[in-house]
Amino acid sequence: EVQVVQSGGDLVQPGESLTLSCAASGFAVISDYLSWVRQAPGKGLEWVLVIYHGGNTYYRDSVKGRFTISRDNSKNTLYLHMNNLRPEDTAVYYCVRGYNYAYFWGQGTLVTVSS
């Protein structure tokens, strides 16, 4: 059964860092196309970044230089490393399968950036 389990969401202060995890089963993170999509509370959806199976990545401008993505093949887990967080990064972050449209979604994890 295909499944992703997300974790890592937390309340942090502006300027702090946080890492989100997306543990996969039923498919291999290393050979799949994966993305992160976020949704601010009560707001719409925003596609944050995509990683191709070959490792190429695309980041939206507002997170470039602050967010990076990595994969741990031994744990079959995708990570989103977020640095210098801003209040506008507050959102539920979804780990999704797909590099253009999202055909499978994780349950989401809430990141709150507030002083």
Q: Which residues bind another protein (CB under 8 A)?
A: 44-47, 50, 58, 60-61, 94, 100-108
Please, what is the minimum distance in Å from the beta carbon of residue 81 to another protein? 20
Rounded-to-10 torsion of CA 114, 35, 99, 39: -40
Classify strands 91-97 and 34-39 as parallel, antiparallel or unpaired. Answer: antiparallel
C-beta closer to another protein: residue 103 or 115: 103
C-beta closer to another protein: residue 31 or 101: 101
Please, what is the minimum distance in Å from the beta carbon of residue 75 to another protein? 22
Please, what is the minimum distance in Å from the beta carbon of residue 73 to another protein? 25
**Structural contact between residues 29 and 76, judged by C-beta atoms closer than 8 angstroms:** yes
What 3-state DSSP class applies to 113?
A: strand
C-beta closer to another protein: residue 62 or 70: 62
**Structural contact between residues 92 and 109, judged by C-beta atoms closer than 8 angstroms:** yes
